[in-house]
A = this chain, B = another copy of it.
């Protein structure tokens, strides 16, 4: 186990952990003690019909939702709903390469995990620990959207409503290549040592290069051109990198990012239907809103719209935001109002 202070309540907000025991993975690996970090808000009602699940995104955690999306005045209102965000496996808060006590899966030995493994683990956690057998809604951004799609295809009877924000049901080839360059930034650092570094700080150069790739793909050309980062208090574009993206990514654990990236690259609900995406999405019975961000460089609206057309009764709700994919952080003033308006409508349906 390595120490990495970033993965704790101070940076991500309070959370609890629970084990679902042994988890056999789609790719053949096993996590003997699969413990998940999760956070909740609100109260589960008597018939357990008001639970909303928020699966997490790459490099993110429950904290990204609880700091921005959840609260009084938001659609994700703890006065009405029991809101639970479960951190994805390998994200640094749930069981992960650097924090597992099981030496057989530590660091470079951590097994490949798929989106489906996360959803199976979450379903078990909700059922066994909370007695929840049906979700009022699943709402997720980016890799959280991948998990949302997996939920409504794998367990169509267990989800009433779904919102997939800035993500796809089947990853695209371009997105696969994008994630590959994120990975290569880390793996090429001599300090990475094939995943057997002694501290994430030894991979600082690779993490910084990944941060810089995010500066190109995470925001949009319009965001940079309009210097919209000034609303965040920065005075130069260089400061957005050196004072925001770099410190964030340099805090992170490299194996954690790589494990989640492997999963991200292979998200594909059509694995349930022999590669037939239309058949997979045709299974969906949840009322589904597909919510791409207008200026997303790697989950472009048209890719999301093409999937939305395959989902019965679904609606395309484009979120207008020059921030692009990283708009997910809610950094533009007009972002959360759009999210809240759409989710409110979804929840009322």
- Chain A contacts to B: CB under 8 angstroms: 172-178, 180-181, 184-185, 188-190, 205-206, 209, 212-213, 215-217, 219-225, 227, 237, 241, 297-298, 300, 302-303
Contact = CB atoms under 8 A, between A and B. Distances in A.
B224 A174 contact: yes
A173 B216 CA distance: 10
29 contacts: A173-B225, A173-B227, A173-B237, A174-B216, A174-B220, A174-B224, A174-B225, A175-B221, A176-B237, A177-B212, A177-B215, A177-B216, A177-B241, A178-B216, A180-B212, A181-B209, A181-B213, A181-B215, A184-B209, A184-B212, A188-B205, A188-B206, A188-B209, A190-B190, A213-B213, A216-B217, A221-B298, A221-B303, A225-B303
A172 B181 CA distance: 22
A300 B174 CA distance: 18
Given A180-B212, A212-B184, A237-B177, A221 B190 contact: no
A28 B178 CA distance: 38
A344 B302 CA distance: 34
Contacts of A227: 173
Given A178-B216, A190-B190, A224 B184 contact: no
Contacts of A181: 209, 212-213, 215-216
| Residue from A173, A237, A297, A303 having most chain B Cβ neighbours under 10 A | A173
A176 to B, nearest CB: 8
A225 B177 contact: no
Contacts of A177: 212, 215-216, 224, 237, 241
Contact of A224 (B172, B216, B219): B172
A319 to B, nearest CB: 18
A186 to B, nearest CB: 11
Given A181-B215, A221-B298, 13 more contacts: A172-B224, A172-B225, A173-B225, A174-B220, A174-B221, A175-B221, A177-B212, A177-B241, A178-B216, A181-B216, A184-B209, A185-B209, A188-B209
